[in-house]
Amino acid sequence: MNKEKEIQVNGDASSELALHAPAIKQIIKNNDLLTSFFAENSKLAYNIAKRILNVNKKLASISTLTNTSQVKEIAKQAEKELFWCIDNLQDQNEVFSYCSKEDENHD
């Protein structure tokens, strides 16, 4: 007997998404294209979250530094990482918006 793994989420938005997960899983079960699409999105979301966590750790370390050049360098790196996250989240939003909307040029 194949027992489904339960989804564990922490945020309110994640809880809303998780409500749809069992139905989505059934829909994509035999569709390699959708399975690949969701797997790639999952990897991207994980990488974004990982980068944000790393930025948070770097920024937390600033309070212990006395060298202003080190502080500036960490802030510069953090800004670069956060802009990468913003760009990728915007791209992700564009892709999902495109996939979830009806073709507006359709007559």
Rounded to the nearest 5 degrees, what angle is found at the Cα of 18, between the Cα atoms of 86 and 33?
A: 70
CA distance 80 to 75: 9
Per residue in 15-47, pLDDT (tens digit) is 888 888 889 889 888 899 999 999 999 999 999
Q: What is the pTM of this model?
A: 0.77
Looking at the predicted structure, is the pLDDT value of residue 74 above 60?
Answer: yes
Q: What average pLDDT does the chain have?
A: 87
Share of the chain above pLDDT 70, in %: 89
The answer to whether 80 touches 53, Cβ cutoff 8 Å, is no
Identify the helix (H) or strand (E) that includes residue 84. Answer: helix 68-100
Looking at the predicted structure, is the pLDDT value of residue 75 above 90?
Answer: yes
CA distance 52 to 79: 11
The pLDDT of residue 103 is 65
Q: In this structure, what is the dihedral angle of CA atoms 93, 95, 96, 100, given to the nearest 10 degrees?
A: 130
The answer to whether 74 touches 41, Cβ cutoff 8 Å, is no
